[in-house]
Amino acid sequence: MTYNHKIKVSIVAVAVSVVLAGTIAGCNTDSSTTTVKDDAYYKSLAESLIAKMTVDEKLNMLVGPGMTNANVANLKSDTAGVAGYINGVLNTTSGLDIPASKLADGPAGIRITSTRSDTAGTFYTTGFPVGTLLASTWNPEIVKEVGAAAGNEAKEYGIDFWLAPGMNIQRNPLNGRNFEYYSEDPLVTGEMAAAMVSGAQSEGIATTIKHFAANNSETNRMNVNNIISPRALREIYLRGFQYAVENAQPWALMSSYNKINGTYTSQRADLLTNVLRDEWGFKGLVMSDWFAGDNALSQVTAGNDLIQPGATNFVTGEVPLTVLKTAYANKTLSDDIINRDATHILTQALKTPSNQKYVFSNNPDLNAHAALAKQAAEEGMVLLKNASALPIDSTSGTVAAFGIAQLTTRKGGTGSGDVNTAYIKNIIDGLSGQFTVDSTLKTTYADWYSANKTQQWDAFHMNYTWACSEPDASALSTTEINTAAAADSIAVISISRIAGEGADRSADKGDYLLTDAESTLIDNVSTAFHAQGKKVVVVLNVGGIVDTTAWKDKVDGILLAYMPGQEAGDAITDLLSGVTNPSGKLAQTIPASYADVPSATSFNGVDTNSDGTVDTNYYNEDIYVGYRYYNTFDKPVAYPFGFGLSYTTFGYTNSAVSDNTLNSKGAKGSVTLTTTITNTGNVAGKEVAEVYISAPEVNLKKPTIELKSFAKTNKLDAGATQQLTFTIPAEQLASFDEANNQWVIEPGVYKAYISPSSDVSSTDPVTFTVNSKVVVSNTSSGALALPDGVTESSFITVSK
């Protein structure tokens, strides 16, 4: 079903068509038949409507009406479980009839309430794989399809603004919300977010990229002050947002809870106006995160157009609407600011379904979307290890399924990123569907689970998932394990973790490290199965990475399944059986140990005022986040960024620089590279090829390598080849010169490694030369500066 942006006869359109007639280029005066896709049209429409609005109506548009529907202005129909609204206007004097808009979370699918008291019907939505897994597909096309499917569900359930995608950088593996985000790398982050935005917005739904910016931890998230160098902000934490804005124009953006360099992001004009709008050309609306910041007047003045959810800020006690009305009365809030922000909001709201009078069905195609969720999950899971253990031949022997995670399979994380799905396919369901599974073990686990499962509440104590310990020795004895090893052909051990909004993870046993029970299980199962000459495979069903160093040598195969959405069990099984050949690759590094993470000692902040809560987070590793650190400082890792195995093998030949226009076209130039990928194995598969650039250091220090492009092949049959082309625009190649507020490409010889992962040690680079410095763009002078009295040398500990 497509949505063609047709403006049907609406009171709004009719009311303004007279005003607009003849004034907008290319605009048909008959608004009942005009197909309008032009942003300029909606901006003019918004301006003409705002000209008729009272100040109170405008201020009401700048502040949400709260999280319930009790006070929403001109709500035409509600959708239970939305996160917030944008007030509309209904005024018989002016004739204005602008419907309110509805806002719903979140990155893994549309989060609404699935049942309602007034009807027997259900309103389930599809639980797609979490952001990290989607990024691990390295395939923007499938991410775009997921975006379109989620956008369609939003549209068919009456939603206007989708509060997704989440796209903060995975600075540290312990951030509780990493699962919602894409990667430690800004290019992967930006490309995935842009794909998601394009997909959803093709359905006529606004996306809201979030949380802008540097929202990289959850502890004291509403107050924490992140101290970050302007260069690290530009190159790492803002870069993905910039990519998404410039390439996909999201209709909305959510500022974050945290402060950057002393000021709440929602109150920083340099961030929200100078950088976002003036430099990058953002045309959408900016909304706050829920109850963020401490000063409504500075928010709307800085360019945080919309304060959400409105009503009373439970943290500060401020009532934003009252604050703005008082400020207007005493002339500290001008008509210009009000009109500017209201125009930003209304221009976007007018494009969305409620204002377009879209009649929603409450009946999206959940079956088709479930199939897509499964396909995306299979494309993103990462095969980390395979010592001739996989794929499992479903026609020979039985599978011994161990680990309570076969029953506590996690489709996604908790908090606003959770989705109310009709079901989740557990791992044991998937295995049982394709293999003969050991029935004794299956019963052991089922009995233990029903006797021992407990409710595990999220950080806000609002929702729970079922959790359960591993069966103890009385339930699963060594004898039973030995019996299984004798009878079954392979062991599959599932291990899961939950994580979510409002809390960070810990580096301890049970979270980053395995529990003692999990370690013992791996030991006992491996000993028993290896004694019989049989293999052991571990499936990791986790939102963020866990330690693998302590146990990876004890097992024969590891599948990093992440949180794969509602089709988890079937998708995992398709990869284990070889129905689908794995083609996901890591969008984050798995370090050798948590202590090796460059922010291990600074995450998640320090308690400077000794009130018992961390308040200041020094980004001590500067630009050396993730593989930028491990590669530059020669730190061995467990699995490098960009790594992932397949059931086939691939060869890279004829890597070359096919074009370089940087010297002739400067800031408008680009470099083009090509390589030929050959499937050198025996089964069909897809390969991700990654381009890492090693740039010369003239005045600026540089990470040893940085990802500047990537591409995924089609499914190649054994022996088949495909040529891949990578174009790197000047903008993508540039580094941020903080002293001069410029993006620059320094002169010299650049090495390009076209490689299967960020371990480029066995790849011969190709080179290209930049003859003289290229200034790619100038930026706002002094934007995002460190607070007074803080210098980079006082907190940056990682440096060459």
Q: Return the number of the residue (209 or 671) whose C-beta is nearest ligand BGC.
A: 209
Q: Return the number of the residue (167 or 389) whose C-beta is nearest ligand BGC.
A: 167
**Mask: binding to ligand BGC, 249-288, rule CB under 6 A, as x and -?**
----------------------------------------
Token representation of residue 232: 């690290």
Examine residue 604 and say whether the peptide bond preceding it is cis (omega within 30 degrees of 0): yes
Nearest to 112 by CA among 168, 148, 155: 155
**Residues within window 675-714 making contact with ligand BGC, judged by CB under 6 A:** none
Read off the DSSP letter of residue 543: S
**Residues within window 429-488 making contact with ligand BGC, judged by CB under 6 A:** none
Q: Return the number of the residue (543 or 591) whose C-beta is nearest ligand BGC.
A: 543
**Residues within window 101-120 making contact with ligand BGC, judged by CB under 6 A:** 105
Spatial neighbors of 566 by CB under 8 A, at least 6 apart, are 126, 127, 370, 373, 411, 419, 421, 422, 423, 424, 425
**Distance (Å, whole) CA 769 – CA 95:** 63
**Mask: binding to ligand BGC, 380-409, rule CB under 6 A, as x and -?**
------------------------------
Minimum Å distance from CB 83 to ligand BGC? Answer: 4
Q: Return the number of the residue (241 or 743) whose C-beta is nearest ligand BGC.
A: 241
**Distance (Å, whole) CA 200 – CA 643:** 29
The answer to whether residue 307 forms part of the interface with ligand BGC (CB under 6 A) is no
**Residues within window 79-98 making contact with ligand BGC, judged by CB under 6 A:** 83
The answer to whether residue 290 forms part of the interface with ligand BGC (CB under 6 A) is yes
For tokens 């369901």, what's the residue?
429
> Which of 189, 416, 426, 496 contacts ligand BGC by CB under 6 A?
416
Q: Return the number of the residue (105 or 156) whose C-beta is nearest ligand BGC.
A: 105
**Distance (Å, whole) CA 741 – CA 718:** 50
Minimum Å distance from CB 347 to ligand BGC? Answer: 21
Q: Return the number of the residue (103 or 774) whose C-beta is nearest ligand BGC.
A: 103
**Residues within window 506-565 making contact with ligand BGC, judged by CB under 6 A:** none
Region label for 682, one of left (φ > 0), alpha (ψ between -120 and 50) or beta (otherwise): alpha
**Residues within window 171-230 making contact with ligand BGC, judged by CB under 6 A:** 210
Minimum Å distance from CB 159 to ligand BGC? Answer: 13
Compute CA distances 159 → 82, 232, 284, 621, 707, whole Å: 8, 36, 17, 40, 36
Minimum Å distance from CB 65 to ligand BGC? Answer: 14
Q: Return the number of the residue (166 or 640) whose C-beta is nearest ligand BGC.
A: 166
Provide the pairing of β-strand 637-639 with 590-591.
antiparallel
**Distance (Å, whole) CA 236 – CA 233:** 6
Q: Return the number of the residue (105 or 235) whose C-beta is nearest ligand BGC.
A: 105
Please tell me the count of residues contacting ligand BGC according to CB under 6 A.
Answer: 7
Torsion of CA 249, 193, 412, 470, to 10 degrees: -160
Minimum Å distance from CB 152 to ligand BGC? Answer: 20
Q: Return the number of the residue (253 or 559) whose C-beta is nearest ligand BGC.
A: 253
Length of the chain: 800
How far out from the chain centre does Cα 581 lie? 24
Minimum Å distance from CB 770 to ligand BGC? Answer: 40
The answer to whether residue 289 forms part of the interface with ligand BGC (CB under 6 A) is yes
Q: Return the number of the residue (156 or 289) whose C-beta is nearest ligand BGC.
A: 289
The alpha carbons of the chain give a radius of gyration, in whole angstroms, of: 27
Q: Return the number of the residue (42 or 290) whose C-beta is nearest ligand BGC.
A: 290
Minimum Å distance from CB 612 to ligand BGC? Answer: 22
**Distance (Å, whole) CA 83 – CA 72:** 13
Nearest to 694 by CA among 760, 744, 636: 760
Spatial neighbors of 82 by CB under 8 A, at least 6 apart, are 102, 103, 104, 112, 159
Minimum Å distance from CB 287 to ligand BGC? Answer: 9
Backbone angles phi, psi at 601, to 5 degrees: -90, -20
Minimum Å distance from CB 545 to ligand BGC? Answer: 22
> Which of 82, 163, 350, 370 contacts ligand BGC by CB under 6 A?
163
For tokens 């998640």, what's the residue?
604
Minimum Å distance from CB 732 to ligand BGC? Answer: 28
C-beta of residue 297 within 8 angstroms of C-beta of residue 275: no
C-beta of residue 286 within 8 angstroms of C-beta of residue 62: no
C-beta of residue 239 within 8 angstroms of C-beta of residue 280: no
Minimum Å distance from CB 82 to ligand BGC? Answer: 9
Minimum Å distance from CB 378 to ligand BGC? Answer: 27
C-beta of residue 504 within 8 angstroms of C-beta of residue 217: yes
Residues that bind ligand BGC (CB under 6 A): 83, 105, 163, 210, 289-290, 416
